[in-house]
Structure 1
Amino acid sequence: MPPVNLPYDDIAEQQADLMRLLFPHLCAPLPDGQFILGVLPPPPPAEAVRVVTGPSPQSPAKNLTMWEIPLRRDLDSEDLLGGDEILGLVRALHTGRQIFSSSRLSTVMGMRLVLVDPAQVTPAPPGDGDATTTILRTLTQPWTEDQPDPRLRGYLRRADLLRLYLDRENDPTVIVAADVRPAGAVTALLAALDSLLTEPGKRPGMKDPHCTRLLDLTSW
């Protein structure tokens, strides 16, 4: 049976949905004490998500790991992994010693990139607070298929820096990254973000395969 070809729009939508499902766990430690520092969209048309983990945003890139997790359950299925399933896999990857063949290891942006085979990883069971988080999130942020425009596809936390990956639903292959400072004028920045994303420019010397353009908005 030939593999099912999913429209990239579906993959982009799922990546954006994962952002909403995973962000409540932003500051919750993983089983080994590390943290989720980023959720990134791989270059199109990859049917995957990249989750960055490490000791802290201040850690050097060489101490961080980028886990690339396929979104499809298998090649013959149209079903995509959800937030709870991705979280369970990430937690399992941070439980005990993990061994990967060299063919599944490389480096991206100075971070170790690991290609994960979900069939080889038993997801960790839900944590004690997961059900509470789901209830409170559902009551305060009722689920809707409508996403903001521009749409958040990913983020990466570094020392005093937050990189946002955004797109527009009518063109999900064009992803604009914007570097912002959480300690800056966040309210004004968010209000102006829509117009700022149309400005040309890419910070020289920076290589990020997860975006089409990279904007420096750290002076706000």
Structure 2
Amino acid sequence: MSEDTEEIEELQAEIAALLLHHVYAPLVHDQHVRAVLPAPSQSAAVRVALGDNGQSHPAELTAYEIPLRSGGELLTAHDVVAILRSVHTGTHIYPRDRVSSVMGMPLYRVEPASVEEAPFTNDDWSFTLMQRLAYPEGEERPEVRLLGFLFMEEGSLRLYLESEDVFGVIAADVQPGGALTALLAALPSLLGEEWRTSDGADDPHCSYVVDLTDW
């Protein structure tokens, strides 16, 4: 398998994992993800079908084919979500050679460079962060485990965590978005920084609160 093929397959898997959430939660308005398909003939593209919750009749779905490279750069799974939200709202005119059908579904071939991506929402960032905490890669027992969460005012998110190095349940207040990978890597040490903590007297679900909203 070539390095390029392996890279595309990894991205396809990331997209499928991210969009799995939107089988139940709408991706945009009342539209849910009803299919995530690898483009045929090992094309560097992904196909995603949207429709009403529970809908499976092909004629009632709308499929989009999105190239996984744009301007020579590989897209991210989040880029694909943003493009899907953009093309499925408003009016978009497709040349005839970009409209066809597949398995009974109308299929629109998207040109990413011509699409203004919809912004990634606070809930999107929150879900991504919590998913990585709940399903860490390559660890039998992670340093930090997610026990619960609470969406708070002004867009912050409270994570209830267990750490090998700290006794009891710790609540960490974070502002979702930005460098999630860096935050996850630093989280075990950040939980022990006393100057960031308060006693959490107003929250009976934790021993103390760590404020990471400005991190």
Kindly indicate which of the two structures has a greater share of residues assigned to helix: 2
TM-score (norm 2): 0.59
Q: CA deviation at 1:42?
A: 1.0
Which residue in 1 is equivalent to 2:115?
121
For structure 1, list consecutive stretches of 5 or more residues without a partner in the other structure. Answer: 145-220
Which residue in 2 is equivalent to 1:36?
33
Task: Give secondary structure in 1 for the equivalent of 2:75.
Answer: coil
Task: Give secondary structure in 1 for the equivalent of 2:63.
Answer: strand
Aligned residue among 126, 132, 153 for 1:132: 126
Aligned residue among 136, 156, 163 for 1:142: 136
Checking the alignment, whether the CA contact within 8 Å between 2:98 and 2:110 is kept in structure 1 is yes
Checking the alignment, whether the CA contact within 8 Å between 1:54 and 1:63 is kept in structure 2 is yes
Aligned residue among 75, 91, 108 for 1:97: 91
> Equivalents in 2 of 1:68, 1:17: separation in Å?
16
Which residue in 2 is equivalent to 1:111?
105
> Equivalents in 2 of 1:80, 1:125: separation in Å?
18
Kindly report which structure 2 residues correspond to 1:43-192, keeping only aligned pairs within 5 A, or say none. Answer: 43-74=40-71, 77=72, 79-143=73-137
Checking the alignment, whether the CA contact within 8 Å between 1:32 and 1:94 is kept in structure 2 is no
Matched AA of 2:126: T
For structure 2, list consecutive stretches of 5 or more residues without a partner in the other structure. Answer: 139-215
TM-score (norm 1): 0.57
Amino-acid identity (%): 39
Which residue in 2 is equivalent to 1:176?
none
Checking the alignment, whether the CA contact within 8 Å between 2:30 and 2:53 is kept in structure 1 is no
Matched AA of 1:126: F
- What do the CA deviations read for 1:68-109 (whole angstroms, capped 9, x no partner)? 0000122xx3x4211111000011112212221111000110
> Equivalents in 2 of 1:9, 1:135: separation in Å?
25
Question: Which 4+ stretches in 1 moved above 4 angstroms?
Answer: none
Kindly report which structure 2 residues correspond to 1:18-37, keeping only aligned pairs within 5 A, or say none. Answer: 18-37=15-34
How many residue pairs are counted as aligned between the two chains?
A: 137
> Equivalents in 2 of 1:13, 1:135: separation in Å?
19
